[in-house]
Structure formats: structure tokens, C-alpha cells
Amino acid sequence: MKTDSFHLLGQRARLGRYRAGAARALARLKQQDFVRRLWERDASLWSSAPAVQEKIRNRLGWLLAPENFQRERERIQEFVRAVQRAGFTHAVLLGMGGSSMCPEVCRTTYGVAPGFLDLRVLDTTDPATIQTCEQVVALGRTLFIVSSKSGTTTETISLYKYFYERVRAVKGEAAGENFIAITDAGTPLARQAAERRFRDCFLNPADIGGRFSALSFFGLVPAALMGMDISVFLSRAQEMARACRAATPLEENPGVVLGVILGHLYSQRRDKLTFVLDPTIASFGYWVEQLIAENLGKLGKGIVPVEGEPLGSPRVYAPDRVFVSLSLHGRRVPARLNQLETAGHPLIQITLRDKFDLATEFFRWEVASAVAGALMQINPFDEPNVQESKDNTERLLRDYRASGRLPEPPVLLAEKHLRASVPAGLGSKLRSRSGQNGLAALIGRFLALAKARDYIGLMAYLEASPATHRRLQALRLALRDRLHRAVTLGYGPRFLHSTGQLHKGGPNNGLYFQLVATDAVDVPVPGEPNSFSVLKQAQALGDFGALGNKQRRVLRLHLGDNIAAGLQQLAVAFRRALALQGRQTRRPHRPSAKRRKR
């Protein structure tokens, strides 16, 4: 390769001065016979420990999913026909993380075909969102998809308990007819499905991990219910799977080449992977964010996925970015992408023939993350730091059952609607030494803790309403444009199953703002003393504690009982804080004219 690009199967990487290093990394994989060993499930690619290798071998079933699930296509399609004949008009998927991401992508990308089920994805414990969902579906004609690999996911099972009781109030003991399960064999959910006579139970292969399950029952059953042609979808995935096998020359292997690029750029401190997606496929960012964050954020290492961030001018980006553009053939690509390349940022461009090519992207990125993990010397198939937040949440709920209340962290500052808290040990670093004691000054001191190449994470345990999202996106862009830092935005508890692993297991290079509020409405969890609001609060507090235990820099901001007023006050405080920060911010790095020449 004599150019600065890798260009294959709709994928072109313009790497500039990083191309030679990526080519050397690819050559090392060739010497290791990496691709053959990948397809033979050689777990020594990621670990030398026998116990870890055994676990990895039991997480590689995704490699054969496109081929194996073509054989399940007729069963899925017959199930859909039976559901249509039974008169169902809506479907609600109850799931979290890998069990819900692909269905969400499919719903927003492909829509619902005439005559098929109007599907909604419910992956939250926010009571207002749950209440809204219940109000827009007819319970008697709604099919509930309870989707959980383990069959024990707290949010999913709580949602199932609630909607089962709501349907039973309408249909009595026949309520099970309105439910199906997607889970592994032998799980508590599989047993519930049999005991309560669910309409069906799809048992997924146990060797497919949650975030690798897009091309299995977890993704395909909801997609078929919406009227997607899953035969075409799987055929496209098979195309990519064939292209990623050992028979393909390594330099032409799209998944491996992409993974090598990500791994090499990480070694060069380009670790903010920023997605620029065509609006018609923008929701793919939800899925790939989880894949990258959970696969590659552990052992103090990590690639930070940045999705949903509108494209800015080159001057607002620091030299830690890698840009990935996904576009559809025939649609205009933002002109600013060329400006970013000129400014010295690596740029990966992927062009899809049509929307069905998203199936190729699911597989391409699964392979790429596995390859990048090997280069980074981490195991991409586990999630060692997710459990701590879950354990904290369960402990807090036990405390609630005993005392009827949740413990709140000490308040560092209270101002009008807002209350601010930080983990123990961080408060002393944020005390004013200049007599400035307001919220804006506190936020300014917190932002001043940032080091070079740090990023900012907005973690909102709020209803993701359009108005709230607009306000948070405006805040996000203000932070990026003034501070020249990557800024992520996630809604809790959803992000706990996505970027949460990176926050606690990756490098300590994030400044996190946890945004919480008092819920205006509440919904009970049947059979439990806590409501959904209490569960959501416990999840936020549990993650706050886990971040503090990892010495992460986190500022918790309670917005009070009026989210709109709290966000307005917050916006003013950030504006004032950034006005002060901006005077001290250095201009972003720009490569010299000599370096830009190739």
C-alpha cells in the first residue's frame, strides 16, 4: 500500500502519518496467523490464563450467528404470522443493554411495515417513561418481549412484573399469551415462561454474549415482528462474515483491518472514537457505543466512543480524536470531514449500499473490537466492573426495605433548585480558596481538575424527553466548543449497560456530571417494597458510590422536583463557569504545515 489509505468493502481509512504504523501492526497479526486462530476459537489470542481462556471460548458463538440463524428464519417468520393472526397490533420489548440495542436500531432505522407490530423498546426504570409507554398501547393487543440473556436483569424483570400484572388485570390467567421470552436455556426467566404459559420462549445459544447478540434471536425476533426481511438482513451479515474469514487476504479483511486501525490509533493516544452517522442510520451509534465501551474499556485502558455529537469545525477538537463516518450510498457526506482530515485527524469512512447493510456493520464491528482487544492486550468478552454498581444498588435497596428511605450523599453546596455532592475525598479539592462559593464557581473548580486528553461525561437519570435532550445537547456542545474536549451523553440506567464499564474499568480520564431529580410520577414494582422511582434513585446512588470507590471525578447535581427549572439554572451556572474557563483554555493543537504534507 503506497497511499495513506486502507480502502476495501465500502471502508476507507485515511490515516495520514499513522498509516505506516497500522500496516506494521497488520503484518504482526499475519505472522501470528490471527484470523485462522480467531475462527478456530483460539482464546490464547486474548489471555494466557486457562480459566479465562475457557470463558472466552464460551463467548465466541457470534462468529457463526449469521449462518446458524438463517436456519432459524422460518421458525421466526411462522411465529410472526401466528402473532398477526392472533390480532396483536403492538409490541413492547423489555430489556437492557445488548438485549435492547439492536431492536432500538431496527425500530428507528427501518420503521414498521404495514400490517406488522408497532414495536417500542423500554430500557429504563424511569417511571414517567414507563407510564407514557403504557398509555400509548392497548394492553390486550400488545405482545411483551421479555429479553434477558441471564434471565435475572433487575430492570427487565421489574418491568416484566409490572406489565404482567397490568395485563392480568385485563386477561386474567391468560395473561401469559401476551408474553414471550428471549433468554438462555435454564434461566429463571425461561422457567417463568413455562410456568406462566408464555406464547413462546426463544432460547439463545449460551455462547453468544449480550452485546454480540444482534444477529441472534435477541435482534431477529423483534426485527421480524416489525416486518423486516430478516432473510436479506442475515444474508448481508453472511457477506461480511465471509469477507472476515481466513480465506480473505489479511489486507482485504474489513473487520480485521478496522480493528488494527483502532488498536494502533489507541496506542498513539487517539482514543476518542467519534461517530459521524447519516441521520437515517444515526441510532446505530447506540449499539456501537456499547460494543466499544464494554469490549475495550477495562484494566485501566479504553477507547471512548462518542456518539450523537453534532459535527463541529476542526478548531474544537483536540488531537485525541478518531472520526468514523457511516453514510448511505448516494447521500451527501458532510464537507467538514475533509477539513478534519486536513487538520490531521484520522478519518474512517464507511459507505453502505442501503440500510440493510447495517447487518454488515454489526458483524464488521464485532470482529474489529475483538481484534482491537487483542492489540490492547485485554479480554473484550467480559465486563468485570459492571457488577460493582449492581451490588451497590442491591445493598441500597436492602437498606430501603429496612428503613423506608435511601441514604443521600452529603450536600457540598445548595443553591435554589440544585444540590451538589461529590464522593468523599473530592470535596477538599473543590473548596473555594478565593471566596467564590456559588454553583458556577464550584462547576468551574470541578472542570479545572481536568488534565490533557480527559473527556467529560453527562450521566442523566432523567426522562429522555425531547425538551430535556435539547437542553443537554446544548450543554454538551457548549462544553466541547469552549474546552475542546470530547463530551458524551448517556441516560441512566441505560448507560450502565453500555459506557458504565468504561467509566469504572477504563482509564481515569473522565469528569462525570451525574444529573438526578425528584420524579413527578411513580410506578410500583409488584411484589417489591420499592417503586421504579426508588429503584432508579438506588441505581444512580450505586453508580455514584462505585465511581467514588474507583477515585473517579464525579459531581452529582440534584435538580430538585422541577427538571425544566433545574436544567435552566444549570445552564446558567455552566455558562458562567465556561466564561471563566475559556480565558484559561489554550488553543487546540494543530499539526504544523510540514506535518500535514504527505
| SS3 track for 319-353 | CCEEEEEEEECCCCCCCHHHHHHHCCCCEEEEEEC
pLDDT in tens, 291-334: 999 999 999 999 999 999 999 999 999 999 999 999 999 888 88
Q: Which residues contact 551 (CB under 8 A, 6 or more apart)?
A: 425, 508
pLDDT band at 592 (very low <50, low <70, confident <90, very high): very low
What band does 8 get if pLDDT is binned at 50, 70 and 90? low
- pLDDT tens digits, one per residue of 304-315: 999 999 999 999
The pLDDT value recorded for residue 150 is 97
Q: Does residue 586 have a pLDDT over 60?
A: no
Integer-rounded Cα radius of gyration of the chain: 24
Interval 574-587 mean pLDDT: 74
pLDDT band for position 437 (cuts 50, 70, 90): confident
Model pLDDT, residue 598: 38
The H-assigned helical ranges of 212-268 are 217-225, 230-243, 254-267
**pLDDT higher than threshold 60 for residue 3:** no
10 confidence band (pLDDT: 50, 70, 90): confident
pLDDT grade, residue 138 (50/70/90)? Answer: very high
- What are the extents of the domains in the chain? 5-31+249-376, 64-235, 387-584
Cell 444515526 belongs to 282
Tell the residue number behind the cell numbers 437519570, with chain if given.
Answer: 461
Q: Using one digit for the tens of pLDDT, what is the confidence trace for 270-283?
A: 999 999 999 999 99
Check for a shared fold between 64-235 and 387-584: yes
The rounded distance, in Å, linking the Cα atoms of 473 and 460 is: 12
Average pLDDT of 125-148?
A: 97
Distance CA(322)–CA(481), nearest Å, equals 17
What is the predicted pLDDT for the residue at 593? 43
Cβ atoms of 498 and 304 within 8 Å: the answer is no
Q: Is the pLDDT of residue 596 over 70?
A: no
Name which of 149, 146, 152 is nearest 176 in CA terms: 146
pLDDT of res. 387: 87
CATH fold of 5-31+249-376 reads Rossmann fold (3.40.50)
* Averaged pLDDT, 479-502: 97
The pLDDT mean for the chain works out to 94
Contacts of 192 by beta carbon, 8 Å cutoff, 6+ apart: 151, 181, 198
Q: What integer is the mean pLDDT of 575-594? A: 63
Q: Give the right CATH number for 387-584 from 3.20.20.150, 3.30.70.1350, 3.40.50.10490, 2.40.110.10.
A: 3.40.50.10490
**Mean pLDDT to the nearest integer, 352-368:** 97
pLDDT per position as a tens digit, 555-576:
999 999 999 999 999 999 999 9
Distance CA 456, CA 451 (A): 11
pLDDT of residue 27: 97
User: Does residue 527 or residue 433 have the better pLDDT?
Assistant: 527
494, exposed or middle or buried, with CB in 10 Å at 0-12, 13-18, 19+? buried
- Domain 64-235 homologous superfamily, CATH: Glucose-6-phosphate isomerase like protein; domain 1 (3.40.50.10490)
Predicted local confidence at residue 589, as pLDDT: 47
Q: What is the pLDDT of residue 597?
A: 42
pLDDT grade for 583, boundaries at 50, 70 and 90: low
